[in-house]
Amino acid sequence: MKILIPVFEIQDYGGITGHTELLMRGLKEAGHTVKLVILRNNTRGHYLKKFDGPAGSYPSQCGGNVHLLAGWYGVPVISYGNRACADGFVRFAQDFDYIIWDLPCPYDDEGEWQRLYESGVPQVAVIHDAHYRRAYRHLDDVADKLKFIAPVNESAFGAVSIFPGKVRLINNGHKLENWEEQRIYATRQKIAVCAHVWKAWKNMHRVVQAAPLVRNSYIIMGGDGIEGRYMRSPDKCKPKYKGMWTAYCASPHEYVGVLTPDELFHFYANARVMIDLSWNDRFASYGCHYNRSIVEGANWGCIPLVNKEFFAGSKVFPEGTYIGVSKDAGPEELARWINMACSMRQEEADEIIGKLRRIIIDQFDYKRTSLQYLEP
């Protein structure tokens, strides 16, 4: 089958890049041909985006490069700013057997994006977040053109419960690592890794603020994004971030910037803990918004330290598969939790990691999840 994956242009793709790379890989390994294109709301003619991305880019399944924040390079870019441009995409898409919209629609409801769905080719759409009701209810305009939409976590699934079409939960795909060759918890250093896109709801500042109080463990922070740039800015720093970055840099802990997946996995493979303190009130009202990070960390033997309120009631990640800290915990309490998570008994760590690995096998293997998008 010849499959097209269109991606609308956004700022800071984050975990969408990892999802898409393994989606393409799984489809290719199953014998399908896959093409990724970027969609922009302007009237420029089709062109090929430059091959090389910024520092931190790595080879992509699309044939070019990919970057955690900036997305894909070396791929076709197609416009939808007017009807003629959108019609050009429709003609292009009709050469394919199937379409997987890796972002379902633009957030701004501008341009001739609805026309892009008029190819007549069978198509489905991925839902990566719980923003549907607030940011893109206009997706309803093309509900009748979609076989189904596929949220990738429980929160995203809950948010689209009112979508006037079919909905299926398909978890983010991950490559199962060779667990037998990994170091066990007790032989690893007391390291906690916190590497994400620095969006407001990721709450990276909580770790930055607590880090100088963490005495018995070592924190490695990575990634970047708008909130990180605010925090480090000498003249645009938000009041709530004042002094945090200076204090972090004066502490013994480390910031390593944007990482390729292999670089991130190297850190996980030698760490005891993965920290993800993501929290959003609205997301939580729909269910657990688990990110790729919990699976990536566990896949490399890390214990997840997460906001317990976000995971409360999760059917995918029940209690006993993570260490939960309150979203309201202050810096000193959070520092204690980080030290505790890095100082568990091997038996405790084994129990958590064992449960997580069974979940990864059952629900997150990319060889299975990628093909779920093709099911009738």
Q: What whole-number percentage of the chain has pLDDT above 90? A: 97
Q: What whole-number percentage of the chain has pLDDT above 70? A: 100
Task: Report pLDDT for 11.
Answer: 86
Residue whose token pair is 């699934």: 157
Do 179-363 and 2-170 fall under one CATH topology? yes
**Per-position DSSP letters for 238-269, written without gaps between them:** -GGGTTHHHHHHHSS-EE--S--HHHHHHHHH
Task: Report pLDDT for 104.
Answer: 95
Measured distance CA(366)–CA(25) in Å, rounded: 8
N- to C-terminal Cα separation, the chain: 14
C-alpha R_g of the chain: 21
| Amino acid letter, residue 310 | F
Residue 315's Cβ-side half-sphere holds a number of Cα atoms within 13 Å equal to 10
Domain 179-363 indexed as CATH 3.90.1170.50: no
When the pLDDT of each residue in the chain is averaged and rounded to a whole number, the result is 96
Measured distance CA(24)–CA(367) in Å, rounded: 10
123-182 pLDDT, tens digit per residue, is 999 999 999 999 999 999 999 999 999 999 999 999 999 999 999 999 999 999 999 999
| DSSP secondary structure code for residue 233 in this structure | -
SS3 content of the chain, % helix, strand, coil (to 5): 40, 20, 40
Residue 1 has pLDDT above 90, yes or no: yes
105-135 pLDDT, tens digit per residue, is 999 999 999 999 999 999 999 999 999 999 9
Report domain extents, the chain. 2-170, 179-363
Mean pLDDT, rounded, for 231-237:
95
Topology at the third CATH level for domain 2-170: Rossmann fold (3.40.50)
28-80 pLDDT, tens digit per residue, is 999 999 999 999 999 999 999 998 899 989 999 999 999 999 999 999 999 99
Which residues are within 8 A (CB) of 62 and not within 5 positions of it... i.e. 6 or more apart? Answer: 24, 34, 35, 36, 72, 74, 75
